Amino acid sequence: MDINLFSKCVKELIVENDRVDVPYLGSFTAEMQPATYSDRQTTIHPPYRKMSFHKAEISLEQGKLLLDKIMRESGVSQEQAGVELGWCLSRLSSELEGHKSCKLPGLGVMRANARNEFYFVPEDRLDIWPDGVGFEPISIKVSEEESSEAAGGDRSREHFSRAGRAPEQRSETPETTKAPEQPKQLIWDHFQEELADVASSIWKLRTGRLVLLILAALLVLFIIAAYVFTDEMSPILDRLLYTKEELELLRR
């Protein structure tokens, strides 16, 4: 049994289980992580399953789930599966103690520190959550490129409009015009599109727990919208906070 088969068995099991015990080595676990903000609070990262490793004394009986999987994949008896697993993990431990690193194809990298304590570093965007396939980070800030393109389009239209006027129609007094609020409008439009995408994703979820996570994300987006787009959200907030009679008394 080689490290590729070991990694394949662990990955397929962790997709359907929260814990995979490996005899002689330790336990791989997977835990749900909620949606989070980026450092500058300009991006919302979707929820995901985080995989980690904890070194522990695991018996063959505790590792029956993995041994049964190796039996099915290799077509050997349970006793032979235990022997082959022991050889594989012996080579893995030697690699960790000697080079402090051993790659698990499709999963990540096992590492060892100076005290030979093992830990696991998963691959970027490790796919161990089928229900989360297709989830992407949501940006809530317009990029500089979009802003410059929008500003460039305004200047082009202004230039074309001025070029089409007859010379006698040009005013000698420069007109004062209000600065365009294009970037803000772009942010609002982008927010509405992202909100629609999140709402559409809700219907594709398979478990009630995921629906609660998405609803929490929508609530966060609504709060952000209320803070950033005060003018646009004010009528909605008034209807949520006041009755019709109270609005009339407040002359709204």
> Rounded CA gap, 212 and 52, in Å?
24
Please state, as a whole number, how many other Cβ atoms lie within 10 Å of the Cβ of residue 149: 13
The residue ranking higher by pLDDT, 238 or 213, is 213
Instruction: Look at the pTM and tell me if it is higher than 0.75.
Output: no
Angle at 246 between CA 245 and CA 250, to 5 degrees: 120
Confidence band, pLDDT 50/70/90 cuts, at residue 89? very high
Question: What's the rounded Cα separation, in Å, for the pair 195 and 201?
Answer: 10
Find the angle CA(10)-CA(16)-CA(18) to the nearest 5 degrees. Answer: 80
Task: Find the mean pLDDT for residues 132-154.
Answer: 62
CA distances from 76 to 22, 60, 206, 216 (A): 18, 16, 36, 48
Q: What percent of the chain has pLDDT over 70?
A: 60
pLDDT by residue (tens digit) across 15-26? 999 999 999 899
pLDDT value for 154: 52
